[in-house]
């Protein structure tokens, strides 16, 4: 392959924070981004070359996007795979990851079935349609996590059900097709950012520990504070997952480490993922740059760890509703070891991801990640959306 600059133009369905960081990573490579998003002046708009304002599944708009670019990708799973595939064919423009992979991922039950059929370890799961059926499953599993099969993200669409008498209300809250998954007594949640490039090349980033509360990712610790055997198993499982999925790009692979040291797949995102934001400062090539490279069929960048890193998400708090103004930012900017990323969202509401900060450590893998985590939390918790 011969690559010249200025480079190609990449079309991205979705212009949220992931689209923004993709545009930031693409610019030094000489690659322009055109994003499609229904929100005027979306977070990616200030750094992308242009925005098409349209719904994620608008066939005419996606066709317009395909006509203007050299390759297509997506940073949100709410687009229609059939529309993407048709636009790709009509305009002879490649789309990655493959729309068939997106279709599999969009339905959590279909996703789990595909993984289980491939022999990849997953928690026990079952489709549920009625309160009576869910009651039986709750009794059998001793409690479940009820998940919306489609449309859930950032913990939304997940409802814990601990007793049979909670079944009916939980199904009403989901409001559609659902899947019940066994509660796991896990040691920690971990993740691997997997990467598929041209000619079947695959790479993985170091295993990351992810810290959730209320089903929302709060912090990540890289590398994970897990035993070497668990890390090796997580990397092996991630490579098995990549073998099941078609199309180039970055895949966020969320995993559980059980008390017994097993590694089970939770969910997969066929795009850059919050679990991999640490790679901007902590890896030789960020997940965003490598996604751009992979989708374009360019050589992949190294995924090696540069330094241990802890990332803390900046979320809207319980009282934060309305126009977004982040205060006390100087406390983070004054810290010599912290990097702040603001997503440019106009409005804040409780638990909405508004930005993140990363605290990298030294070059030694044995750096005190507990101390890094404590420091990142302290800096993050000093930020506020409320008046003093």
Reported confidence tier of residue 364, pLDDT bands at 50, 70, 90: low
Percent helix / strand / coil, the chain, rounded to 5:
35, 30, 40
- The number of residues making up the chain comes to 388
What number of CA atoms fall less than 13 Å from residue 350's CA on the CB side? 5
For the segment 31-43, the average pLDDT, to the nearest whole number, is: 98
- What is the share, in percent, of the chain residues with pLDDT greater than 70? 98
Q: What is the DSSP letter of 153?
A: B
Fold of the 124-182 domain: Dna Ligase; domain 1 (3.30.1490)
pLDDT tens digit string along 243-263?
Answer: 999 999 999 999 999 999 999
Helices (H), the chain: 17-26, 59-68, 81-91, 99-106, 108-117, 131-141, 167-174, 228-244, 279-282, 287-296, 330-333, 369-381
pLDDT tens digit string along 45-87?
Answer: 999 999 999 999 999 999 999 999 999 999 999 999 999 999 9
Could you list the residues known to form a binding site for ATP, using ranges.
108, 147, 181-184, 189, 212, 266-267
Which region, left, alpha or beta, applies to residue 267 given φ > 0 means left and ψ of -120 to 50 means alpha? beta
Reported confidence tier of residue 387, pLDDT bands at 50, 70, 90: confident
| 92: pLDDT strictly greater than 90 | yes
Would you state the pLDDT for residue 151? 80
Fold of the 186-381 domain: D-amino Acid Aminotransferase; Chain A, domain 1 (3.30.470)
Cα distance between residue 244 and residue 105, in whole Å: 11
Residues spanned by CATH 3.40.50.20 within the chain? Answer: 9-95
**The token pair that represents 130 in the structure block:** 């009625």
pLDDT tens digit string along 297-353?
Answer: 999 999 999 999 999 999 998 777 889 999 999 999 999 999 999 999 999 999 999
CATH of domain 9-95: 3.40.50.20
SS3 325: coil
Residues spanned by CATH 3.30.470.20 within the chain? Answer: 186-381
Could you list the residues known to form a binding site, using ranges.
108, 147, 181-184, 189, 212, 266-267
pLDDT tens digit string along 179-205?
Answer: 999 988 899 999 999 999 999 899 999
Residues spanned by CATH 3.30.1490.20 within the chain? Answer: 124-182
Q: What is the DSSP letter of 205?
A: P
pLDDT tens digit string along 139-180?
Answer: 999 999 999 998 877 667 889 999 999 999 999 999 888 999
pTM comes to 0.95
């Amino acid at each position: 392959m011969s690559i010249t600059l200025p480079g190609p133009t990449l079309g991205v369905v979705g212009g949220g924070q992931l689209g923004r960081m993709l545009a930031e990573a693409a610019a030094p490579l000489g690659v322009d981004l055109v994003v499609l998003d229904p929100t005027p002046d979306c977070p990616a708009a200030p750094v992308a070359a242009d925005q098409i304002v349209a719904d994620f599944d608008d066939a005419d708009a996606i066709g317009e996007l395909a006509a203007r670019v050299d390759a297509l990708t997506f940073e949100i799973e709410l687009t229609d795979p059939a529309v993407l595939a048709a636009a790709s064919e009509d305009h002879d423009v490649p789309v990655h990851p493959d729309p068939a992979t997106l279709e599999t991922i969009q339905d959590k039950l279909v996703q789990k079935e595909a993984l289980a059929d491939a022999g990849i370890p997953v928690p026990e799961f079952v489709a549920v349609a009625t309160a009576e059926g869910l009651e039986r499953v709750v009794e059998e599993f001793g409690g479940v996590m009820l998940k919306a099969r489609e449309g859930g993200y950032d913990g939304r669409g997940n409802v814990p059900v601990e007793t049979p008498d909670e079944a009916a209300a939980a199904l009403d809250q989901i409001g559609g097709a659902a899947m019940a998954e066994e509660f796991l007594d896990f040691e920690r949640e971990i993740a691997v950012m997997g990467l598929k490039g041209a000619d079947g090349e695959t790479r993985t980033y170091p295993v990351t520990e992810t810290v959730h509360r209320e089903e929302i990712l709060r912090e990540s610790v890289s590398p994970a504070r897990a035993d070497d055997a668990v890390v090796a198993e997580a990397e092996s499982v991630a490579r098995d997952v990549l073998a099941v999925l078609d199309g180039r790009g970055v895949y966020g692979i969320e995993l559980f480490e059980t008390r017994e040291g097993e590694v089970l797949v939770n969910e997969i995102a066929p795009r850059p993922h919050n679990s991999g934001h640490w790679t901007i400062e902590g890896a030789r090539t960020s997940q965003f740059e490598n996604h751009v490279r992979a989708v374009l069929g360019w050589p992949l960048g190294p995924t090696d760890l540069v330094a241990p890193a802890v990332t803390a998400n900046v979320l809207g708090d319980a009282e934060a509703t309305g126009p977004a103004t982040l205060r006390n930012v100087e406390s983070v900017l004054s810290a010599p070891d912290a990097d702040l990323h603001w997503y440019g969202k106009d409005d804040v509401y409780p638990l909405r991801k508004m930005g993140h900060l990363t605290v990298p450590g030294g070059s030694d893998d044995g750096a005190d990640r507990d101390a890094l985590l404590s420091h990142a939390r302290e800096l993050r918790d000093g930020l506020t959306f409320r008046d003093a």
